[in-house]
Amino acid sequence: MTKILTAAAAALCVMFAAGCTDLKPIQSQIDDLKSQVSKLQSSQDSAKAAADSAARAAQAAQTAAQQAQSKADAAASAAQASQQCCDATNEKIDRMFKKSVSK
């Protein structure tokens, strides 16, 4: 955007230096440049809005992933406790079976 305005200013200086008295072509170029700057500004605004939206979506996804990890950790802990209980029960059954066989 700044480059376009700089180029327009340089072109204007060159025209004045050359002794140009008709400013209508230059004015139309300036108007064209203003139009381009406006379009670039709106494009920049929409790109910023899209980037902000993507950042919000990424943050929501990260939060969801953290919640899922927390639930997975809780499930793994519950599964481990269940396995320990099952192992203890099996050991108890084995001891009872050995005791009844030895009698």
Q: Domain limits of the chain?
A: 2-102
For residues 37-71, one letter each, b for 16 or more C-beta atoms within 10 angstroms of the residue's C-beta and e for the rest, the string is eeeeeeeeeeeeeeeeeeeeeeeeeeeeeeeeeee
Q: How confident is the model at residue 18 (pLDDT cuts 50, 70, 90)?
A: low
pLDDT at 15: 64
- Mean predicted confidence (pLDDT) in 2-19: 66
pLDDT value at residue 1? 62
Q: Decide which of 60 and 27 is more confident.
A: 60
Q: How far is CA 99 from the centre of its chain?
A: 64
pLDDT tens readout for residues 78-89: 999 999 999 999
pTM score of the predicted model: 0.52
pLDDT tens per residue, range 42-90: 999 999 999 999 999 999 999 999 999 999 999 999 999 999 999 999 9
